[in-house]
Structure 1
Amino acid sequence: MKDPTVLRRDFLASLVVFLVALPLCVGVAVASGVPAELGLVTGIVGGLLVGALPGSALQVSGPAAGLTVLVYEAVREFGLGALGAIVLVSGLLQLVLGALRFGRYFRAISVAVVQGMLAGIGLVLVLGQVYAMADTAQPSGGPAKLAGLPRLAGSVLSGGPPLTAFLVGAATVAVLVVWPRLPARARVVPGQLVAVALATGAVAVLGLPVARVEVRGLLESVQPPGLGDFGDLAGVAAIGTVLAFTLIASAESLFSAAAVDRMHDGPRTDYDKELLAQGVGNTVCGALGALPMTAVIVRSAANVQAGARTRLSRVLHGLWLLLFAALLPAAIGVIPLAALAGVLVHAGCKLIPVRELVPLWREHRGEAVILAVTAVAILVTNLFEGVILGLLLAVCKTAWETSHLHVEVRELTGGRMVAAISGNATFLRLPKILGELEALPRDRPIELDLSELRHLDHACRVALENWALRHNGAGTEPVRFLSPPSGRPVGQPAEPARPAPVRNT
């Protein structure tokens, strides 16, 4: 039986997480272009089901602002019915990855790529929700959103309903910015709930003409995907969307787990089990036609800071969401859309690591470039292509940095010369190697010392052989290798010197 003190702390923490999750679940659903109730469904599954599974004891799962852009584009391109099929297949892929113990490998993703991904999502989220703050339909695609900002500004400044809605959203953002600076006693209630409640009350009292959340009912909103929806996933675009859901949701969840582990001294996360838990959750969410889920750092941090000790707190938060959706569905219908947009604009801004950019540029410029390119690529193209580009850049940067080598030329007695190459000889360094060798005199015997190489790839091996043949063809003594370019692995003791192979031309 659990300690009563632990039970009390978990109970109180669950209420705090519930109050944080409620406006975010609704806001993420509305911003994703789906019924508001589907956000609550995902939050309920994340609490009652995933919350009871092993993996990370204290992090909380639910609909994430980080997937809003991807979900919105998927619904726009494939339809709401196909969303459930996409999420279900993504969940099954997560189960496969978890069963194959791939969870730990997600931690090998470059931090710069992850930060760039979050920054790109934040930029697209802010640009889209600025339109929602003015009760105006947002254009499709990042470039179109940027191009439409002057027209949006003109619409807001002209007055009328767009200005009224924008002021409601701006006031919501202002409350969220000011709330953390208030005394601790005033911050007992989460800022997101306070901001939405104040905006809802002001709109109701003043009778402001702003759009409100459309209520359909919990059961009416749950529509499992049909067989035809799974047939729509055969296209290349749909497969890319499934892979994007799988990889991004998995990476975000496991990076969140690593962050949560640093916040407490309790049990550490089992990454493979956490990936399995996320797969179970997304499979069920897909079967219900709901939003995809990830572990969410905002709710998880609130859970830890509220004093939670076990997974009971996150299970109870799912129960409170279920009771709210079942007993008070009409309460959702009085929330202004502009207020929810303000919450997401604030969340999107927090995804952009503005404070870290300058220190990162000073210390690791390559990482800063990867971050910026990933973010801009997501804004200009889409989430999947932007992340792939960021990963490719990170791999290229790592390959370049690890292929360091040094070429040292020494003169010996008798007019002989030795060119000693040390380090990692890869195709990336071929210009440097060949430049150094081709600058050597053609009328003197040369020995090429490869014994200090840690790695010699095929491209460099062939290039060195060809250089030796060209040098030999100039009429000098044959190039001699102190370590042969083929045969034994690089790093073994050098064999006696011998001429480079001569080929008939």
Structure 2
Amino acid sequence: MFSVKKPAVLRQDALASLVVFLVALPLCVGVAVASGVPAELGLITGIVGGLVVGAMPGSTFQVSGPAAGLTVLVFEAVREFGLGMLGAIVLVTGLLQLALGALRFGRWFRAISVAVVHGMLAGIGLVLLFGQLYTMAGVKQPRSGMEKIAGVPGLAVDIVTDGDALTAFAVGAATIAVLVLWKKLPGKAQLVPAPLVAVALATAVTALGGLDIANVEVKGLLDAVQPPGLNDLTSLASVAVLGTVLAFTLIASAESLFSAAAVDRMHDGPRTHYDKELLAQGLGNTVCGVLGALPMTAVIVRSAANVQAGARTPLSRVLHGAWLLLFAVLLPAAIGVIPLAALAGVLVHAGCKLVPVKEIGPLWRDHRGEAVILAVTAVAIVTTSMFEGVVLGLLLAVVKSAWETSKIHVEVREDDGRMTVVLTGNATFLRLPRILETLEALPQDRPIELDLSPLRHVDHACRTALEAWAARHNDADTEPVRLRHARLTAVA
């Protein structure tokens, strides 16, 4: 894979890997904490994403690891089934991805409606944003998305009236401010990743000021590994667990492959092979499941940082995994000084970026149906669950597509006392009410010819209904109806 041996290329890849490592480090820890699991599990997933997935064919520059997009789903899964089940769920998710990749389903994930994906990310972003506001204040967050949103006024009161909550929230808010303002600095300053700067400054201020706020709990890398047991594997037969597995598989695969399409637009190198990339993601999640770690996806933030840092080969993403491993082994205590409020601030910022605010206006003006699907998917995720929201969004997208492709034109012609009704387009059950209303309004005392030959497609429901209408019309002692059938494959 790494056939290029020029020193300049190797040096560029090494430098790019350090940039990706500095971006990935706070995000790995933050996503783990927000998911309700030990911080080390996020690092393990990042390490596997670098050393295992990074060495696999598929995408050249895409970087994988724990993603904010799965935080809400992981949090709910851990709370409902326990931490021990997480590894089993991720393991089966990986095996499903391997099967889908082997069956060449990778390309089909590209067919998922963009509106559904944006709605999914928006719903995740909203739940993540409002949930992490509570963590910023050191307060336990409510269970459901609606409870998190409804509890914001009470949270504001707690922050104002409680000194400790106000201090922690201020640290998180300052972290967000650094993330926002860092992009406005000169280009050379931005060579240092904003998340690293924001977390480092918050950690320094908290330590130097002696602020009494909660820090990340550290167990050690080996202690955090919890392979799934036999009981966990046998519990996979539960309907609720299988639903979670399907949600993990769908969301992780779609997010990874949509990320690949976005990353391909950032560089002129080799294009992503989607089936191979799905196999790589499946192998990574299988290894993460065996280790009891978080699920992984391709992460656009790290991937973009990799491309922008000048990576030339996949070596950069493999090396970033090596740096994460060295950090977790040699400097585990460094994680324990990071304030939780700072990591919550990073994830609030990430949650805001998941909501496609800039795209909603143009989408509403040009494609209102897509905007409705986006909004319904996001609201359903917030009010119900991730899986139900995504399924609803996909169903709406299919219905919208079916409605738009089943356009039909009904033309009534009169010639020498004979009426001819010509149907053009696609006759499906979705347009059947309109067709029947037109036919039933025709006079019954004149001969009628129903011309179906211009139709491109007639489904079974339409054909049956039209033949039944003709039979009723003929049985009513009226002038007969003559059907001119559609040609070729028009009749379903």
TM-score by length of 2: 0.98
Tell me the CA shift for residue 417 of structure 1: 0.5
Tell me the CA shift for residue 474 of structure 1: 2.6
Percent of aligned pairs sharing the same letter = 76
CA contact (8 A) 1:424 1:455 kept: yes
Task: Indicate the residue corresponding to 1:435 in structure 2.
Answer: 437
Q: Does 1:478 align with 2:480?
A: yes
Task: Indicate the residue corresponding to 2:369 in structure 1.
Answer: 366
Letter in 2 for 1:227: L
CA contact (8 A) 2:124 2:351 kept: yes
Task: Indicate the residue corresponding to 1:95 in structure 2.
Answer: 98
Q: 2:451 aligns with which of 449, 470, 485?
A: 449
407 and 24 in structure 1: CA distance in 2 versus 1, 3 angstrom threshold: same
Q: 2:119 aligns with which of 116, 120, 125?
A: 116
Task: Indicate the residue corresponding to 2:223 in structure 1.
Answer: 220
CA contact (8 A) 1:14 1:317 kept: yes
Task: Indicate the residue corresponding to 2:135 in structure 1.
Answer: 132
Whole-angstrom CA distance in 1 between matches of 2:484 and 2:53: 61
| Map 1:114-193 → 2, pairs under 5 A | 114-193=117-196
Task: Indicate the residue corresponding to 1:412 in structure 2.
Answer: 415
Task: Indicate the residue corresponding to 1:468 in structure 2.
Answer: 470
Structure 2 unaligned spans of 5+: none
Tell me the CA shift for residue 223 of structure 1: 1.2
Letter in 2 for 1:226: G
Tell me the CA shift for residue 491 of structure 1: 8.0
Letter in 2 for 1:483: H
Whole-angstrom CA distance in 2 between matches of 1:52 and 1:446: 69
CA contact (8 A) 1:91 1:279 kept: yes
Tell me the CA shift for residue 481 of structure 1: 1.1
Tell me the CA shift for residue 482 of structure 1: 1.9
Task: Indicate the residue corresponding to 2:490 in structure 1.
Answer: 490
Secondary structure in 2 aligned to 1:420?
Answer: strand
| Map 1:248-397 → 2, pairs under 5 A | 248-397=251-400
Tell me the CA shift for residue 251 of structure 1: 0.6
Tell me the CA shift for residue 232 of structure 1: 1.6
Secondary structure in 1 aligned to 2:420?
Answer: strand
Secondary structure in 2 aligned to 1:224?
Answer: coil
RMSD of aligned residue pairs (Cα, Å): 1.1
Q: 1:49 aligns with which of 32, 47, 52?
A: 52
CA contact (8 A) 1:416 1:444 kept: yes
Tell me the CA shift for residue 293 of structure 1: 0.4
Tell me the CA shift for residue 488 of structure 1: 6.4
Q: 2:33 aligns with which of 30, 35, 58?
A: 30
CA contact (8 A) 1:50 1:277 kept: yes
Larger radius of gyration: 1
CA contact (8 A) 2:459 2:491 kept: no
Secondary structure in 2 aligned to 1:213?
Answer: coil
Task: Indicate the residue corresponding to 1:502 in structure 2.
Answer: none
The one-character-per-residue Cα deviations of 1:386-419 (angstroms, maximum 9, x if unpaired) are 0000000000000000000001001011x11000
Whole-angstrom CA distance in 1 between matches of 2:322 and 2:490: 62
Q: Does 1:40 align with 2:43?
A: yes
Tell me the CA shift for residue 473 of structure 1: 2.5
Whole-angstrom CA distance in 2 between matches of 1:422 and 1:185: 62
CA contact (8 A) 1:451 1:491 kept: no
The one-character-per-residue Cα deviations of 1:453-492 (angstroms, maximum 9, x if unpaired) are 11111111111111112211332221011227xx964389
Whole-angstrom CA distance in 2 between matches of 1:213 and 1:491: 65
The one-character-per-residue Cα deviations of 1:423-468 (angstroms, maximum 9, x if unpaired) are 1000000111001111111111101010001111111111111111
Tell me the CA shift for residue 159 of structure 1: 3.2
Task: Indicate the residue corresponding to 1:497 in structure 2.
Answer: none
Q: 1:64 aligns with which of 67, 71, 93?
A: 67
Letter in 2 for 1:431: P
Letter in 1 for 2:149: L
Letter in 2 for 1:438: E
The one-character-per-residue Cα deviations of 1:26-74 (angstroms, maximum 9, x if unpaired) are 0000000000000000000000111011000100000000000000000
CA contact (8 A) 1:426 1:460 kept: yes
CA contact (8 A) 1:452 1:491 kept: no
Letter in 2 for 1:490: A
Whole-angstrom CA distance in 1 between matches of 2:414 and 2:119: 50
CA contact (8 A) 1:445 1:479 kept: yes
Whole-angstrom CA distance in 1 between matches of 2:280 and 2:481: 61
The one-character-per-residue Cα deviations of 1:227-252 (angstroms, maximum 9, x if unpaired) are 00111211111000001111110111
The one-character-per-residue Cα deviations of 1:144-198 (angstroms, maximum 9, x if unpaired) are 1112111111100113110000000000000000011110111121000000000
Letter in 1 for 2:473: H
| Map 1:12-27 → 2, pairs under 5 A | 12-27=15-30
Letter in 1 for 2:234: G
Letter in 2 for 1:92: L
The one-character-per-residue Cα deviations of 1:325-348 (angstroms, maximum 9, x if unpaired) are 000000000000000000000000
Whole-angstrom CA distance in 2 between matches of 1:382 and 1:112: 18
Runs of 4 or more, structure 1, over 6 Å off, are none
54 and 489 in structure 1: CA distance in 2 versus 1, 3 angstrom threshold: closer
Task: Indicate the residue corresponding to 1:496 in structure 2.
Answer: none
Letter in 1 for 2:490: V
TM-score by length of 1: 0.96
Letter in 1 for 2:429: F
| Map 1:194-205 → 2, pairs under 5 A | 194-205=197-208
Whole-angstrom CA distance in 2 between matches of 1:260 and 1:460: 45
Letter in 1 for 2:467: E
CA contact (8 A) 2:458 2:491 kept: no
